[in-house]
C-alpha cells in the first residue's frame, strides 16, 4: 500500500483524481468490439445471440430463455438454508426501498392554477447480473427488488451461462425469491444489445440496470438514448477513515473484502495516526495470504491501494469528498458526529460493527453504487431509477385570462408567433 502525506494546504480535486486513478477502463478497443456486437445483435437477432454466446461463453444453446423447471432446480440446489437467507435479505431490501416510493401530487399554487407531478413505473426494464469471476445472487436482489417495489410490470433479467449452458443455481434461487421469471442465459455486450434492441424472442426494454465488465459498461454507454441506463459502473472500491481507537485487524479485513472483487478494485485508508495505519497494512499483508482469492487481492492492493496521512479529521474528510468513494467506513469515536462532513459517498457505514459486507448482503440499502468518483454527482440504485414522472398543469378560464397577454409577450420576444397565436385565439373566443 502506497503512503501519501497530505500537505498542510490539502490536495486539489485534480491531484486526488491523479493519485487515485480509478477511471473505468473503456478503451477504444473495447468500444470497437462492443459496437460490433451491438450491431450484430441489432441486425441478426436471436441468431447473433446464440452465436455470440457460443463464442464468448462456450455454451451452445438453442433456447436461451431459462425455463420454470430450471428456476425450481436452481432453488432446490441452493438449499433451504441459503433460500432462508435470501428471503430475509429480500425482506430487508424491500422494506428499505419502500421508503423511497414517491406519490403523485397535485396542488393549487395560485387561484385557478393547479400543478403537480404524476409518478409512473417504467413499463419494462432489463436487469443485467454479471458472472465471470463470481456469481452474485445478491445483485439479483439489489437490482430487481427496487423495480418490483416501483411497480414495474415487466422485468427481464440476463446473466451469462456456464459452458454447460446452465445458469448458476444461486442466481436462479435469488430470482425466484425476487419474483423474476423472465431470465435469459446471455451475458456480455450481447445481453445489453438483446435487452436494448430486442430479438425475435425478446421484447426490448425501456431501461437497463446492473453492473458488468468493461464490455458491458461500454455497451450500456453506447445504447443510452435508445434505452435509459442506471450508471456506468467501474471496479469496486472502499475507503475507511479510522484512527487508533479502531481494531486494526477488523479494518484490514474490511479493506480486503472489496479488494477480492477485481484486480482493479481500489482500497483507501485515511488516518491521522501513521502507526495505526502501518499496523493495518501489516494485518492486510498477513490476512490476504490465507484468503481464497489471493491473486486478485494481491493485484488490487499492489496497484490500487493508497493510505492518506492527514493532519486532522477535517482534512480526512476533505480527502474523502474529493475521492467520492463507492463505500465509506467511518471508524472513529462517536462516528455519527462526522456524518455532516460527508458530502460525496455512495454508501456510508458508521461504527466498528457496521462492516461493509453487511451492506453488500443484508442491511437493506442498495449495493449497486456509483464508482470511480461518480458519487460526487450520482446516487445508489433505488426505486427512483425504475420510475419516471410527468408534470401536470391545469388552468381555469380566469387563470388563463390573467396570464395570456404575458405568455404572448414572452413568445413574441423569442420570435415564436405560433406560440403567441395559440393564446390569442382563446382570447378572441
Catalytic site residues? Answer: 326-327
What is the rounded distance in angstroms from the CA atom of residue 308 to the CA atom of residue 4? Answer: 5
Residue 77 cell numbers, joined? 440446489
What secondary structure does DSSP assign to 159-224, as a single string? ----TTS---HHHHHHHHHHT--EEE---HHHHHHHHHH--SSS---SEEE----HHHHHHHHHHB
Q: Which residues contact 141 (CB under 8 A, 6 or more apart)?
A: 86, 89, 90, 93, 174, 177, 178
Residue 138, classed as helix, strand or coil, is: helix
What is the rounded distance in angstroms from the CA atom of residue 19 to the CA atom of residue 317? Answer: 16
DSSP letter at 332? S
Q: Which residues contact 423 (CB under 8 A, 6 or more apart)?
A: 404, 407, 408, 411
Angle between helices 274-288 and 294-304 (to 10 degrees): 150
400 bridge partner residues = none
What is the rounded distance in angstroms from the CA atom of residue 390 to the CA atom of residue 119? Answer: 7
- The closest alpha carbon to 296, from 211, 235, 380, belongs to 235
Angle between helices 313-323 and 13-20 (to 10 degrees): 70
**Would you say 94 and 158 are in contact if contact means Cβ atoms under 8 Å apart?**
no
**Would you say 20 and 266 are in contact if contact means Cβ atoms under 8 Å apart?**
yes
What is the rounded distance in angstroms from the CA atom of residue 143 to the CA atom of residue 137? Answer: 10
Rounded to the nearest 5 degrees, what angle is found at the Cα of 188, between the Cα atoms of 184 and 194?
A: 50
DSSP letter at 32? H
What is the rounded distance in angstroms from the CA atom of residue 128 to the CA atom of residue 145? Answer: 13
What b/e string do you get for 319-329 counting C-beta neighbours within 10 Å, with b at 16 or more? bbbbbbbbbbb
What is the rounded distance in angstroms from the CA atom of residue 416 to the CA atom of residue 226? Answer: 30
Amino acid at each position: 500500500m502506497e503512503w501519501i502525506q497530505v500537505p498542510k494546504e490539502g490536495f486539489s480535486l485534480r491531484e486526488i483524481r491523479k493519485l487515485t486513478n480509478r477511471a473505468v477502463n473503456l478503451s477504444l478497443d473495447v468500444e470497437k468490439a462492443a459496437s460490433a456486437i451491438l450491431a450484430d445483435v441489432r441486425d441478426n437477432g436471436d441468431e447473433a445471440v446464440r452465436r455470440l454466446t457460443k463464442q464468448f461463453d462456450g455454451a451452445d444453446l438453442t433456447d436461451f430463455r431459462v425455463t420454470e423447471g430450471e428456476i425450481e432446480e436452481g432453488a432446490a440446489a441452493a438449499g433451504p438454508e441459503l433460500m432462508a437467507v435470501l428471503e430475509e435479505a429480500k425482506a430487508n431490501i424491500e422494506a428499505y426501498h419502500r421508503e423511497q416510493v414517491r406519490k403523485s401530487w397535485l396542488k393549487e399554487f395560485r387561484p385557478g392554477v393547479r400543478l403537480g407531478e404524476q409518478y409512473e413505473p417504467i413499463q419494462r426494464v432489463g436487469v443485467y447480473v454479471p458472472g465471470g469471476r463470481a456469481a452474485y445472487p445478491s445483485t439479483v436482489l439489489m437490482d430487481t427488488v427496487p423495480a418490483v417495489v416501483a411497480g414495474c410490470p415487466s422485468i427481464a433479467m440476463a446473466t451469462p451461462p456456464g459452458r454447460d449452458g446452465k445458469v448458476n443455481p444461486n442466481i436462479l434461487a435469488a430470482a425466484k425469491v425476487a419474483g423474476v421469471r423472465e431470465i435469459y442465459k446471455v451475458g456480455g455486450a450481447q445481453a445489453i444489445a438483446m435487452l436494448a434492441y430486442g430479438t425475435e424472442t425478446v421484447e426490448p426494454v425501456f431501461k437497463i440496470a446492473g453492473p458488468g465488465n468493461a464490455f458491458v459498461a461500454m455497451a450500456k454507454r453506447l445504447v443510452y438514448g435508445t434505452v435509459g441506463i442506471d450508471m456506468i459502473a467501474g471496479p469496486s472500491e472502499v475507503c475507511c477513515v479510522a484512527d487508533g481507537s479502531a481494531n486494526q485487524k477488523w479494518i484490514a479485513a474490511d479493506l480486503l473484502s472489496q479488494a477480492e472483487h477485481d484486480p482493479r478494485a481500489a482500497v483507501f485508508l485515511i488516518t491521522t495516526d501513521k502507526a495505526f495505519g502501518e499496523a493495518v497494512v501489516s494485518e492486510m499483508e498477513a490476512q490476504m495470504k490465507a484468503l481464497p482469492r489471493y491473486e486478485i487481492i494481491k493485484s488490487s492492493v499492489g496497484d490500487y491501494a493508497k493510505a492518506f496521512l492527514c493532519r486532522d479529521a477535517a482534512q480526512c474528510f476533505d480527502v474523502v469528498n474529493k475521492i467520492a468513494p463507492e463505500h465509506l467506513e467511518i471508524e472513529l469515536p462517536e462516528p455519527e458526529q462526522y456524518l455532516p462532513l460527508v458530502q460525496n459517498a455512495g454508501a456510508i457505514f458508521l461504527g466498528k460493527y457496521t462492516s461493509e459486507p453487511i451492506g453488500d448482503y443484508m442491511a437493506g440499502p442498495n449495493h449497486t453504487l456509483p464508482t470511480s468518483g461518480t458519487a460526487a454527482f450520482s446516487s445508489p440504485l433505488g426505486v427512483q431509477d425504475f420510475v419516471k414522472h410527468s408534470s401536470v398543469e391545469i388552468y381555469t378560464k380566469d387563470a388563463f385570462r390573467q396570464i395570456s397577454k404575458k405568455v404572448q409577450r414572452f413568445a413574441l420576444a423569442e420570435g415564436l408567433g405560433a406560440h403567441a397565436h395559440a393564446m390569442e385565439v382563446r382570447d378572441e373566443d
